[in-house]
Amino acid sequence: MLSNEKSRRKPTGGINHTIRRKKKKLSELRNNASNPIITQTEEKRKVLRVKSGMTKTAPLKLKFVNVKLKTGKIVKGQMVTEKVNKAHKEFVRRNILTKGAEVEVKIGEKTMMVKVTSRPGQTGIVNAVEM
């Protein structure tokens, strides 16, 4: 039976190879997501080497948050637990912090809900605003 496909052979008898895509360099590969979680014990961070010899701090466990109150004052509070995360519903069960997550924070004797405005997995710091 005859085929309608073009022959892979050249007129000289050699084989035409399909176009191969470029392989990524090691510097182009992405790191795994750090997925920082809320902890009640000590904070834990990992230092990574990134392109051009620079370093980046990847947080693994975070305990404190910088909260901007409605009065304009910035205070440091301790995170208790995550309540809502629109990025993924499983992040709430696992207490994984992302930008936009709503977290319960204890400042002194007062507890309040705050919304994370920074990207904790990228910067290693959690900034939030009072809701």
Residue 98's CATH number: 3.10.290.70
Asked if the structure places residue 87 within a domain, the reply is yes
Domain count, the chain: 1
Q: Is residue 18 part of a domain?
A: no
pLDDT for position 12: 92
The type of residue at 126 is V
Q: Is residue 14 part of a domain?
A: no
The tens digit of pLDDT for each residue in 35-88 reads 899 999 999 998 888 778 888 888 999 999 999 999 999 999 999 999 999 999
Between CA 99 and CA 125 the distance in angstroms is: 11
Residue 97 falls within a domain, yes or no?
Answer: yes
The answer to whether residues 64 and 79 touch, using CB atoms and an 8 Å cutoff, is yes
The rounded distance, in Å, linking the Cα atoms of 59 and 44 is 6
Confidence tier at 23 by pLDDT (50, 70, 90)? confident
33 inside domain: yes
pLDDT digits (tens, 9 = 90+) for 76-123: 999 999 999 999 999 999 999 999 999 999 999 999 999 999 999 888
